[in-house]
Amino acid sequence: MAVPVGTPADAPVGAPMGAPAGAPGSAPMSAPAQPVRRVSAWHFVRLKLRVMGNNFRGQGWRVALFVLGSFFGLWFAVSAFFGLAAPGLAGNDRYALLVAAFAGGLTVLGWLLLPLVFFGVDETLDPARFALLPLPRRTLVTGLFAAALVSVPTIAVLVALSGLVVTAGVFGGWSAAAVAAVGVVCGVLLCVAAARAVTSAFATMLRSRRVRDLAAVLLAVVAALLGPLQIAGLAAIQDVDWNRLTGVATVIGWTPLGAPWTAGIDVAQGRVWAAPLKLLITVATIAALLVWWSRSLESAMVGAASSGPAQAKPSVTGGVVAQFFPRAAGWLRRDRFGALVAREARYWWRDARRRANLITIAVVGLFVPVMVNLGGQGFTLDSEEGFSLAGETSPALVSLSMLFVGLLAAVTLANQFGFDGSAYAANVVAGVPGRLELRARMAAFSLYVLPMLAVVAVAIALVLGEPAWIGFMAGTLVATYGAGLAVNSFVSVLGAYSLPETSNPFAMNSGAGLIKSLLTFVAMIATAALAVPMVIAAALLGDAWLWLGLPLGLAYGVGAALLGGYLAGDVLDRRQPELLAAVTPRR
């Protein structure tokens, strides 16, 4: 990781504030009429590299994780590169447009949606930090945009999609390759701009408590767009009607989703006139996205500085204890456990970051099973979790999709202490026993998740027209969720990391981004391994499983969660202060 080594002139953003310090005895209390040095995007890039470098300083394990993450990213990128270059390498002209349009389109969609659903967006440079600096909005947006380009995923996507350049070059020679290269670079810019604009807009919306319901609906709609596209794509593939598919690809090629990627192919196939138009579409889209981003960026900066005046709400009658317990948790005893559960339950709703996670679970929990089972095959969220079982839906396939929902719900707790940040100090000072702490956190989260899982089981069973399956579907959900709680108890105690103290629910530190995806990945694999017996049972036991599924699943899930909390609680007792240090943001 090459980080520019500091020179005094290296404080990039402060540069315009710096009066000409080199001139001794000059009279310059007056503000310079013009910034001494213009702030360019390059300053932001250097600042980002510097922040990343400083994050690594003295943290060997972070460097190791970063190297590991970069390695995997590039490995995926290189394999994708050869996949996309395949039509060219095989000399098969027919698939060139298809591959470019679909692979490129899915990439853009992925950049658009994955940050919302899974990974968050890298906020190494938090826009709010720039609020006080005299920077024009245009400079700020281009700077932040340039800084956002400096990341492993961007490079990985650039490498992967360069496969299209090879394909274009094979069929159309150097000119086509050159156009394809321009197209791919523009496409990557489009991806990053889309990711930034969408997350920024959503963050602004989710921050305001009043529009949170609207935001939930919007997120659901965005996720719902996945469905029709997927079905159309799958239907097209199943028909193997290449002409029709080529037609779809042509249409996609004229939308911003496919335009940058197909320009080179068009040149290669003799439609030279199309290339400039498509590049124009791309550039216009990027510009529009950046304008949109700069709008929401402004409100993000203002919102971070002040969350508005405090409105005193009328105080309620009754004691503070009665007021503290939410109605849904009213049955809890008024003791330590009850207090922990009540506080967590309040936080899952009041903390925008946590609420965003709950919404994700609800949306994905309903959509993935529907896609998997009605689409028949291949909802490829990522290559590891791809369900490629063909044909009719079966108990095993349904169990597999339930397993995915269960582990997705549980993995939300992988950094449960990171949500608290330094506020966790209160529990350390009070000396809360680890086992109590973990059990209470599981219980509070389950107050929200178990009803959701019940809805998922019932809804999916009805959609599939197999009401008799409700039992084992719910059993699999609970078993996976319970096993996931156990696994994530350990992950959250041992692998906690701090989240930045902004109100952007999607924000995370760049170092943490990789760590999070790796830890999440490990937690998901471990959970899946623990829950796989439920799928095997569904495949082997036949009708008996319809009756045994629910009781066995419940017992397995509850048992696993309790055992996990028991064992991980012991670990927590021994490293409370270290955990606190890990989740406290460094300032």
Partner 1 sequence: MVEYDQRRSRESFSGLAERFAEPDTVGYMTGEHPALALRGLAKSFDGKIAVAGVDLDVPAGSFYGLLGPNGAGKTTTLSMAVGLLRPDAGGAWVLGRDVWADPVAAKQLLGVMPDGVRLFDRLSGGELLAYHGLLRGMDPAVVDKRAAELLDVLALADAGRTLVVDYSAGMKKKIGLACALLHGPRLLVLDEPFEAVDPVSAALIRDILQRYVAGGGTVVFSSHVMEVVQRLCTHVAILAEGTIKRVGTLEQVRGDRSLEEVFVEVVGGRTATGEELAWLSQ
Is 31 a binder of partner 1 (CB under 8 A)? no
Please give, one letter per residue, the 3-state secondary structure of 175-206: HHHHHHHHHHHHHHHHHHHHHHHHHHHHHHHH
Complex with partner 1: residue 327 or 587, whichever CB lies closer: 587
Please choose, out of 68-76, 338-346, 378-386, 456-464, the segment that lies near partner 1 by the rule CB under 8 A.
338-346
Complex with partner 1: residue 79 or 307, whichever CB lies closer: 307
Is 56 a binder of partner 1 (CB under 8 A)? no
Complex with partner 1: residue 351 or 570, whichever CB lies closer: 351
Complex with partner 1: residue 412 or 527, whichever CB lies closer: 412
Is 22 a binder of partner 1 (CB under 8 A)? no
How far is it, in rounded angstroms, from Cα 82 to Cα 580?
A: 45
Complex with partner 1: residue 94 or 587, whichever CB lies closer: 587
Please choose, out of 259-267, 321-329, 443-451, 477-485, the segment that lies near partner 1 by the rule CB under 8 A.
321-329
The 10 Å Cβ neighbour count of residue 137 is: 13
Q: Please give the structure tokens belonging to residue 469.
A: 């399956």
The 10 Å Cβ neighbour count of residue 232 is: 11
Exposed/middle/buried for residue 159 (C-beta within 10 Å: 0-12, 13-18, 19+): middle
How far is it, in rounded angstroms, from Cα 541 to Cα 311?
A: 59
Residue 359 Cβ vs partner 1, minimum distance, rounded to whole Å: 17
Residue 570 Cβ vs partner 1, minimum distance, rounded to whole Å: 15
Q: Which of residues 489-518 bind partner 1 (CB under 8 A)?
A: 501
Please choose, out of 104-112, 467-475, 486-494, 574-582, the segment that lies near partner 1 by the rule CB under 8 A.
574-582
Answer for which of 65, 177, 340, 366 binds partner 1 (CB under 8 A) is 340
Instruction: Output phi, psi for 507, to 5 deg.
Output: -75, 145
How far is it, in rounded angstroms, from Cα 255 to Cα 100?
A: 13
Please choose, out of 137-145, 426-434, 445-453, 542-550, the segment that lies near partner 1 by the rule CB under 8 A.
426-434
Q: Please give the structure tokens belonging to residue 357.
A: 């996670």
Is 581 a binder of partner 1 (CB under 8 A)? yes
Exposed/middle/buried for residue 116 (C-beta within 10 Å: 0-12, 13-18, 19+): buried
Answer for which of 56, 119, 324, 566 binds partner 1 (CB under 8 A) is 324
- Residue 435 in contact with residue 443, Cβ under 8 Å? no
Is 529 a binder of partner 1 (CB under 8 A)? no
Coil, strand or helix at 122: strand
Q: Which of residues 429-458 bind partner 1 (CB under 8 A)?
A: 429-432
Please give, one letter per residue, the 3-state secondary structure of 35-97: CCCCCCHHHHHHHHHHHHHHHHCCCHHHHHHHHHHHHHHHHHHHHHHHHHHHHHHHCCHHHHH
Complex with partner 1: residue 56 or 119, whichever CB lies closer: 56
From residue 300 to residue 319, what is the string marking binding to partner 1 with x (rule CB under 8 A)? -------xx-xxxxxxx--x
The residues binding partner 1 (CB under 8 A) are 25-29, 57-58, 307-308, 310-316, 319-324, 334-336, 338-340, 342-343, 346-347, 350-351, 420-423, 425-432, 501, 577-578, 580-581, 584, 587
